[in-house]
A and B are shown apart, each in its own frame.
Chain A
């Protein structure tokens, strides 16, 4: 059974304190690994797609990386506006997306 597991469930950082979020997956024949950001009361907002091990994508203070078993979302020098829930999802071929439960990030000024 395809699964995506995210850790930690919640993370509290001081402004400027860099850290990483983890997404481990067991999705056979992975075609894409996605990261989303979700703010309260809103739908998930697409951030990155990673297709193959070794690939990296960056956007502002965020960098996503992919290995054969997991993905990391690195947050460098976070700001309070980076506070949100970050979701990871995998897709294989024509099967539905499989989501993790998310990491709730709080960045304190």
Chain B
């Protein structure tokens, strides 16, 4: 199995609170991604990183920020959680070129 770990696996939080999800890899891959998955929408890209301190927005980036201070860690922060951010969040990693991506086990976030 690819060395990718997401934490926490489950979280319930209140509207308006900040939340940080962590993705940790041991593969030294350049690219790291955060997706959210909701019924009827498939996987939607939130943010991605193509190197340390190099990040860019995806199609659903509003309300989210990311940071990557070292190769192995990619953090996703919800500055002020809203109920619309209730979802399952997946981190993925892949190397350069056309190499396949590997996914973490997901984080189920509920905002009440």
Q: A residues touching B (Cβ–Cβ < 8 Å)? A: 31-32, 34, 36, 41-46, 49, 51, 87, 89, 91, 94, 96-97, 99-102
Q: B68-112: contact bitstring with A at CB < 8 Å (1 yes, 0 no)?
A: 000000000000000000000010101011111111111000000
Report whether A46 and B101 are in contact in the complex, using a CB–CB cutoff of 8 Å: yes
Q: Are A31 and B98 in contact (CB under 8 A)?
A: yes
9 contacts between A and B (CB under 8 A): A31-B97, A32-B99, A34-B100, A36-B103, A42-B106, A44-B90, A89-B101, A91-B101, A94-B50
User: Could you tell me the distance between the alpha carbons of A99 and B58 in the complex, rounded to whole angstroms?
Assistant: 12
**Count of chain B residues with Cβ under 8 Å from any Cβ of A?**
25
| Contact present for A91 and B50 (CB under 8 Å) | no
Instruction: Specify which of A43, A51, A94, A102 is in contact with B104 (CB 8 Å cutoff).
Output: A43
The residues of B that contact A99 with a CB separation of less than 8 Å are 35, 42-43
3 smallest beta-carbon distances between A and B, as pairs: A32-B98, A31-B98, A101-B42
CA–CA, A50 and B92, complex, Å: 19
Q: Give the interface of B toward A (CB within 8 A).
A: 31, 33, 35, 40-43, 45, 48, 50, 58, 90, 92, 94, 96-106
| Shortest distance from the beta carbon of A2 to any chain B beta carbon, whole Å | 11
Q: Which B residues are in CB contact (< 8 Å) with A94?
A: 50, 96
Q: Which residues from chain A contact B35 at a C-beta distance below 8 Å?
A: 99
Q: Hey, which chain A residues are within 8 Å of B48, CB to CB?
A: 96
Which residues of A sit under 8 angstroms from B102, Cβ to Cβ? Answer: 46
A97 and B45 alpha carbons, distance in the complex (Å): 9
Contact of A49 among B40, B43, B100 (CB under 8 A): B100
A102 to B98, CA, bound (A): 20
